[in-house]
A and B are shown apart, each in its own frame.
Chain A
Amino acid sequence: MSLIVEHLCFDIGSKRLLDEVSFAVNPGEVVAVLGPNGAGKSTLLRVLAGEYRHFAGDLSLNGQRYENWGTHDIARMVGVLPQHTTLMFPFSVFEVVLMGRMPHATGRVRDREIAKAALERVDMSHHISSSFPSLSGGEKQRVQLARVLAQIWDAAEQPRYLLLDEPTSALDLAHQHHVLALAQSLAQEGVGVMAILHDLNLAAQYADRLVLLEQGRVKTQGSVEQALDPDILESLFGIAVDVVPHPSQSWPLVVAR
């Protein structure tokens, strides 16, 4: 029962965006997907979120091929946190989080409990009746995270997955760590997390495994120590780096030379 990708190929027009990609996201782990711009990270996330259906290869979600799941089924198992949202209409924070319950039929009382608990979890309860467009960028991202949490809240049925698309790009340092720490604690509760990240050090700190993409192909994947190899990183990003031990923690530190 995992999210398994085997030999995934995906074209738009005559352009191959993903080429023979194979990896898996298992419940309970954080997988970080890294790579330069245009490597196909976001495309990969969109395919896994069920947005594009014309791919080749074997994709399975909790033991069933993707082709057998409808958009609605996928939405009950997979939550996606977008990079940023452009919601301009004055929904309240509570209404936005409640939208996360749309794929489920758990009734309005339960939905509201879950939405409140999700807001609690991202530390935004005090903003429950604020208008969403009036929030700061960081606060908006936390509310969106609460919405996605509400979407995959119920642990009862089957393994759930959280896909994060560069979740920290608009956030300050504290919020970056807050979001990824939350993702990590969700993984400990059995959620499979896949995060697209740009910051190699955030990946080193929070991910269990790394997948490095280059021009739609998997360049390398494995544990943090295996994947963060100076030679691989140099050929991937075109910039010389050193990988040194963290002064106070157990994970390595990547610095540009």
Chain B
Amino acid sequence: MDSLEQHEWRVKWSLLGLLIALLLAILTSVSVGPMDISMSDAYRILLSGLGLDAGEVERHLATIINAIRLPRSLLAVLVGAALAVSGAAIQGVFRNPLADPGLIGISGGAALAAVSMIVFGGSALAVVTEVLGQYALMFTAFLGGFAATLVVANIATSRLGVSITTMLLAGIAINIVTGAGIGIMTYMADDVQLRTLTFWQMGSLGGATWDVVLAAGSVIAIVIVMIPRYALGLNALLLGESEARHLGIDVRRVRRNIILLSAVAVGASVAVSGMIGFVGLVVPHIIRLALGPDHRYLLPASALAGALFLLIADMIARTLIAPAELPIGLITSIIGGPFFIALIVMRARQGGGI
């Protein structure tokens, strides 16, 4: 067995390990909360939820898990996977390990649209609220992320193709504009809206219902399945744009589809959970350090690790100051920021690259 085969075995075992850890974390997550439910009860309830006969469990416990905790855990899994896999793919497209969906304006556009909806949902944008009901926020956030991405992509595209530098600069400009827009909304908001808006910006999975999980989940699931199809193209892109083309990769198609898919996933995530930082940047980074940059493994591993990370962060958010609840975006940033700094310092001391 040569060194590459050994590496591949290690990667495959790691993927399996991540999957098992994720399943265990889901089980733990549904048993943790104000009402203590034992892991074995939780296990039986989840199995009977899958239509398997697992013995009798008290009905009110099953209700707590099925109606409240399970949708929330699944939403954490979906959003975490979506943010991490988009982060990994965007870093590949930009050939820059420090890129993330926020950098090219996706998150900013989604946030501005969502904040506008929070502030004007009852007045100027009442039509949208009427037509879309509870999906209004999600849909507008998604549109906002999408629109920002299109603007940035159009600015960066010329007759000669797409300039990555121009795209990053356009992203910075878009972020300034959306930041100012959010500032204006904050200024115009009344007290109740201000509170909603502030908490929304700190991120929360508190809005998880089966409706939300199904709506966001169907969109995110498509993206998580689609993005790994471009793994080889992304690998080739890391060599360079021309090099990828010389290897027969349709660079324009790969880039366009990855950016669109990421916009969809991040738009949906921002819409259902607000601003949750650092997952898209830190998770792929850690996976790359542990398992290497090959996108065939990086993308699924990032999805699993992102889901696991957000699930754990949500457990901490729910239990740390129970019965109150911390915004999850704060948790991810508090864990993610220092962890990231530690990684950078370690790497720099070892004299390694990225």
Question: Is B248 located at the chain interface by the 8 A CB criterion?
Answer: yes
Question: Is A31 located at the chain interface by the 8 A CB criterion?
Answer: no
Question: Is B4 located at the chain interface by the 8 A CB criterion?
Answer: yes
Contacts A90-B353, A92-B3, A134-B353 given; does A102 touch B246 at CB 8 Å: no
Question: Is B95 located at the chain interface by the 8 A CB criterion?
Answer: yes
Question: Is B211 located at the chain interface by the 8 A CB criterion?
Answer: no
**Closest-CB distance, A79 to chain B (whole angstroms):** 7
Contacts of A50 in B (CB 8 A): 245-246
In the assembled complex, the Cα of A88 lies from the Cα of B94 at a distance in Å of 12
Q: Which of A70-78, A187-195, A224-232 contacts B (4 or more CB under 8 A)?
A: A70-78
Question: Is A13 located at the chain interface by the 8 A CB criterion?
Answer: yes
Question: Is B238 located at the chain interface by the 8 A CB criterion?
Answer: yes
Binary flags per residue of A39-67, CB closer than 8 Å to B gives 1, else 0: 00000001001110000000000000000
Question: Is A139 located at the chain interface by the 8 A CB criterion?
Answer: no
> Which one, A87, A92, A151, contacts B240 given CB within 8 A?
A87
Question: Is A243 located at the chain interface by the 8 A CB criterion?
Answer: no
Binary flags per residue of A13-51, CB closer than 8 Å to B gives 1, else 0: 100000000000000000000000000000000100111
In the assembled complex, the Cα of A89 lies from the Cα of B295 at a distance in Å of 11
Contact call B240/A82, Cβ cutoff below 8 A: yes
Q: Which of A93-101, A175-183, A247-255 contacts B (4 or more CB under 8 A)?
A: A93-101
Contact call B242/A151, Cβ cutoff below 8 A: no
Question: Is B293 located at the chain interface by the 8 A CB criterion?
Answer: yes
In the assembled complex, the Cα of A128 lies from the Cα of B160 at a distance in Å of 37
Question: Is A12 located at the chain interface by the 8 A CB criterion?
Answer: yes
**Total number of A residues with any Cβ neighbor in B under 8 Å:** 40
Contacts of B288 in A (CB 8 A): 89-90
CB nearest neighbor in B for A147:
B239
What interface size band does chain B fall in? 20 to 34
CB nearest neighbor in B for A50:
B245
Chain A interface SS verdict (over half): mixed
In the assembled complex, the Cα of A87 lies from the Cα of B354 at a distance in Å of 11
> Which one, B4, B160, B250, contacts A12 given CB within 8 A?
B160
Contacts of B7 in A (CB 8 A): 92
Contacts of B246 in A (CB 8 A): 49-51, 75, 78-80
**Closest-CB distance, B307 to chain A (whole angstroms):** 23
List which B215-263 residues lie within 8 A (CB) of chain A: 232, 235-236, 238-240, 242-243, 245-250
Contact call B294/A95, Cβ cutoff below 8 A: yes
Question: Is B349 located at the chain interface by the 8 A CB criterion?
Answer: no
Contact call A133/B353, Cβ cutoff below 8 A: yes
Contact call A91/B245, Cβ cutoff below 8 A: no
Question: Is A136 located at the chain interface by the 8 A CB criterion?
Answer: no
In the assembled complex, the Cα of A131 lies from the Cα of B294 at a distance in Å of 13
Contacts A71-B248, A102-B232 given; does A89 touch B238 at CB 8 Å: yes
> Which one, A12, A71, A90, contacts B249 given CB within 8 A?
A71
Question: Is B292 located at the chain interface by the 8 A CB criterion?
Answer: yes
**Closest-CB distance, A237 to chain B (whole angstroms):** 27
CB nearest neighbor in A for B232:
A102
Contacts of B239 in A (CB 8 A): 85, 87, 96, 99
In the assembled complex, the Cα of A87 lies from the Cα of B236 at a distance in Å of 10
Question: Could you list some 8 contacts between A and B, CB below 8 A?
Answer: A71-B248, A78-B246, A79-B246, A94-B4, A98-B4, A99-B239, A102-B249, A129-B4
3 A-B pairs closest in CB distance: A75-B248, A72-B248, A129-B3
Which residues does B use to contact A, with CB under 8 Å?
A: 2-4, 7, 95, 97, 159-160, 232, 235-236, 238-240, 242-243, 245-250, 288, 292-294, 352-354
